[in-house]
Amino acid sequence: MALTPIDVELLRTALSSVCDEMFVAIMKSAYSTNIKERHDHSTAVFDAQGRIVAQGESLPLHLSSMLGLVELVLGRYGTDGIMPGDMFISNDPFVGRGSHLPDVALLAPVFHDGQLVMFVSNIAHHADVGGMAPGSMSGGMTEIFQEGIRIPPIRIVRGGEIIDDVLEMILLNVRVPRERRGDYLAQIAANRLGTRRIQELMARWSIPDLQEGMQAMIKAVARRIRAGIAGIPDGTYGFADLLDDDGMGTTDIPIKVRVTIKGERAIFDFTGSGPQVRGNMNNSYAGLQAAVLFGLKVLVDPDGPTNHGMLEPVTIVAPAASVVNASFPAATAARAQTCQRIIDAVLGAFAKAIPDRVIAASNGANGAAAFSGTGPDGTYYLYMETIGGGAGARSYKDGVDGVQVHVTNTSNLPIEALENEYPLLIERYELVADSGGAGQWRGGMGLRRVYRGLGHVLTFSGQGERAVHPPWGLFGGKPGGTSRIELVHDSGRRRKLSSKPMSIEVGPDAVVWIETPGAGGYGPPRKRSAEARAEDSASGKFSARYMRTNYGEAGPRTVAKKNRNRTR
């Protein structure tokens, strides 16, 4: 008998639960704070052809880094060359279809009675993969060879046994190899767990029913996306935005898109976007694909499941060797910055067709900071994090303050976790006053974090965006605040840094001061309610000057004062 819709939904939730359990397994067993605390990892289940059937509710950007992995492994080893207990590893954007080197994917086949039936996979952002700068995310890198070790799709586990030669080669090329080893073992363990759970499902589902159910799941998502596209008026909608710079002298890098809606299909054409740049802002096609699918899905089917069916009604056109579709050997470490701007451009285009569903520009960045050095106890450490900012205002509600947005979706690391593991002190952690764009609905606010090394000289590098071009507002809403990175000495001397600083040394008599962008407002400020304006003033988030400039009224003088206390 053919499966009923209830059968298909039961299978979908079962496979989703496998993804979720794998996700938690990595989170609970990883060594690095970037994974166990910030949750910068993802999980997925594939069918035997390499189509994603279910993805964990984690990072949408990681979807792209796994999309072509099964196809590549099958092409390299063939079905006869893949055995039960094997696992494969890859991270390269050009030969492995990843998005940048720190995102390392592990793939495991699942067999039943000798038949290859499915794959499970996970991907995790490693705090360092070698290269010219600690953290592998610094500005100043101009080719992928400088960014870290490149891993093609190769076998790392054979018949259930880790291939020590492969793992040792990878660990030899990274900083803090003990931490990296722990993270890789966590990924391997999660795939083993996922394999067991899928095999338990195979004890209750016949293989033909399982295959039929997975096909039905993919078709169902394709139908949902097509129906959502059909609800958008036919036409062509364009938008352009600008990246500040690439950290190597190229400024005002255009991201352009023309979205054509015709019936149940959508074409995204990025012709006119800037050529690939010397710096590491370049995006691989995998990253472009993830950004486009995210931008479309949140508008047409935000509550539906995620799988390969999302691709069926979508065509993406992007010039080769462009900043949105880079060619070898382009540097791609900061590709998330470009992905966020691609999403801004996609949302900006759709604002003309479905204005009530689109939000104003969010922080449009994925601000990253890496700190390393030898602490007072003589131990070398390396810490990397990304920092949230403002989320754009909506047609019915204010934006959210201090969060990760769009395809990143990680958490801001709690101060307590950071200070417990590293010789670092967070002197300030707070919202940036006046950084949310004014409007009928205001934009979310950016974050400020101030870091000090305790008793040692640390090395700092980072990545930021929206320091020049602020997040735009919609329909009369004002832009949000811009980002800023400074080196502030105890003497009071301040040095403004590039938004993409290369590695610099910072003594214990100075702090690294980072502010992330806010977000744009929605609708004209004159329409903001009296109650909302009163709350803005009373909250201390907006100064009297801000209120007077944007709404023609003054708030209490006290809101203009800086909060000098340490905020946790």
Query: Over the stretch 396-407, which tens digit does the pLDDT of each residue have?
Result: 999 999 999 998
405-420 CB burial, b ≥16 within 10 A, e <16: bbbbbbebbebeebee
Q: Which amino acid is at 144?
A: I
Q: What is the 3-state secondary structure (H, E, C) of 175-191?
A: CCHHHHHHHHHHHHHHH
**385-404 average pLDDT score:** 95
Q: Does the bond joining 517 to the residue before it have cis omega, within 30 degrees of 0?
A: no
In a domain, 519, yes or no: yes
Specify the DSSP element, H or E, that contains 351: none
Spatial contact of 511 and 427, defined as CB atoms under 8 Å apart:
yes
pLDDT score of 97 more than 90: no
153-196 pLDDT, tens digit per residue, is 999 999 999 999 999 999 999 999 999 999 999 999 999 999 99
| pTM of this structure | 0.92
In a domain, 480, yes or no: yes
In a domain, 244, yes or no: no
Residue 302 neighbours by CB distance under 10 Å:
9
CATH number for the domain that contains residue 179: 3.30.450
Rounded Cα–Cα distance for residues 541 and 481 (Å): 13
In a domain, 255, yes or no: no
In a domain, 347, yes or no: no
Positive/negative CA dihedral, 430, 434, 436, 439? positive
**24-29 average pLDDT score:** 95
Per DSSP, the residues of 305-339 read: --SGGGGTTEEEE--TTBTTB--TT---TTHHHHH
Residue 58 binned pLDDT confidence (cut-offs 50, 70, 90): low
Among 177, 198, 220, which residue terminates a domain? 220
Spatial contact of 287 and 99, defined as CB atoms under 8 Å apart:
yes
Range of the domain at 500: 359-568
Spatial contact of 42 and 63, defined as CB atoms under 8 Å apart:
yes
Rounded Cα–Cα distance for residues 42 and 61 (Å): 9
In a domain, 279, yes or no: no
Whole-number pLDDT of residue 546: 97
Whole-number pLDDT of residue 367: 85
SS3 content of the chain, % helix, strand, coil (to 5): 30, 25, 45
Residue 62 binned pLDDT confidence (cut-offs 50, 70, 90): low
Among 220, 244, 276, which residue terminates a domain? 220
| Token pair belonging to 269 | 């054409």
Rounded Cα–Cα distance for residues 406 and 362 (Å): 9
Percent of the chain with pLDDT over 70: 96
Specify the DSSP element, H or E, that contains 148: none
Whole-number pLDDT of residue 65: 63
| Token pair belonging to 349 | 């285009």
In a domain, 295, yes or no: no
In a domain, 248, yes or no: no
- Number of domains present in the structure of the chain: 2
Instruction: Tell me which residue of 412, 375, 365, 339 sits closest to 34, measured CA to CA.
Output: 412
Rounded Cα–Cα distance for residues 492 and 476 (Å): 39
* 216 and 363 both lie in a single domain: no
Spatial contact of 441 and 396, defined as CB atoms under 8 Å apart:
yes
Q: Which amino acid is at 38?
A: R
Spatial contact of 109 and 199, defined as CB atoms under 8 Å apart:
no
Among 220, 251, 276, which residue terminates a domain? 220
Rounded Cα–Cα distance for residues 508 and 487 (Å): 12
